[in-house]
Amino acid sequence: MLPDITIVTTTWFPDDERGKARLTTAEMAVCSWAENLRYDGRIFLHIADDGSHDLDSFEVLGEIWNKDWLLTQQDRCGVGASLNAGFTRAFERSLLAFYIVDDWELKQPLDISPWVQLLLTNESIGVVRLGIAHPDLTGVVRHCPETGEYYLLLDRHHYAFAHRPALYHKRFIDAYGPFEENVNAFECEREYNERFAAQAVYTAEKGAVEIGPDIALALLHSWRHISDIELADVEPSLEKCEHDLSCS
């Protein structure tokens, strides 16, 4: 069993037609997570809301999730405040959090276990983005021998950090700090990405500037190497000679 992990999802349902439409979207999204997420451990849902009025909305989401869930509310302090509250609660349970915005639907089964293992075994990585990339990102392809998975270790430019589905280790937030509050979601995302792109963080205990944890982009695919018989290193000419000798 892997450690518990908490999905942190941020919500705000305005008391108008936008809120009704957004709730419908959130219901579809949560339903897809409940149906398609796979994990070798327990998953909890934390809804970090920013001042919605209709509390019945969250009961509906909880029923759809149909597992352990929790609601916290801020009073219109922005998505940054919701993220800070959500991650604080998540890290009380374990060192792991899974941030998913409430309008991202998971279209097919996804096992997050190997990507959690990557965070647990590679202390230089703080976030694993799960497949939704931004244009112009670059990086280096790496292999995780513990899980057999491949990922792109992202260079620190463009939107390397983003508010898209991603697994977080507590060390990432410890290094780069809490999210900016009382700003809109675009500004919150932009400011944190710039913080990450700056690369360096000040470590008070050591009194020095160090490079903070990296972000990996999971290279999700539908293939699995199943052969345990390796023939790639066999020289054809030698194999032919051995065959001819055995038949003579």
Q: How far apart are the first and last CA of the chain?
A: 56
Average pLDDT in the 173-178 region? 94
- Total domains present in the chain: 1
Distance set, CA 61 to CA 26, 28, 113, 212 (Å): 8, 9, 24, 36
Q: What is the pLDDT of residues 134-169, one digit of tens each?
A: 999 999 999 998 888 999 999 999 999 999 999 999
Determine the pLDDT at residue 248: 57
Q: What is the pLDDT of residues 82-126, one digit of tens each?
A: 999 999 999 999 999 999 999 999 999 999 999 999 999 999 999
Determine the pLDDT at residue 91: 98
Determine the pLDDT at residue 55: 87
* CB-CB neighbours of 205 under 10 Å: 5
Q: What is the pLDDT of residues 24-46, one digit of tens each?
A: 999 999 999 999 999 999 999 99
Show Cβ contacts of residue 14 under 8 Å, excluding neighbours closer than 6 positions: 22, 52
DSSP state, residue 165: S
Determine the pLDDT at residue 246: 62
The CATH number of whichever domain residue 83 belongs to comes to 3.90.550.10
Determine the pLDDT at residue 160: 97
Determine the pLDDT at residue 230: 79
- pLDDT of 16 > 90? The answer is yes
pLDDT band, very low/low/confident/very high, at 14 (cuts 50, 70, 90): very high
Average pLDDT in the 55-66 region? 93
Determine the pLDDT at residue 201: 59
Helices marked H in 37-165 — which ranges? 56-65, 79-93, 113-121
What gap in Å lies between CA 108 and CA 242, rounded to an integer? Answer: 48
Q: What is the pLDDT of residues 185-218, one digit of tens each?
A: 999 999 999 999 987 655 556 565 578 999 999 9
Question: What would the two tokens of residue 215 be?
Answer: 């972000």
Q: What is the pLDDT of residues 225-239, one digit of tens each?
A: 787 787 788 888 766
Full residue range of the structural domain in which residue 133 is found:
5-247
Q: What is the mean pLDDT of the chain?
A: 91
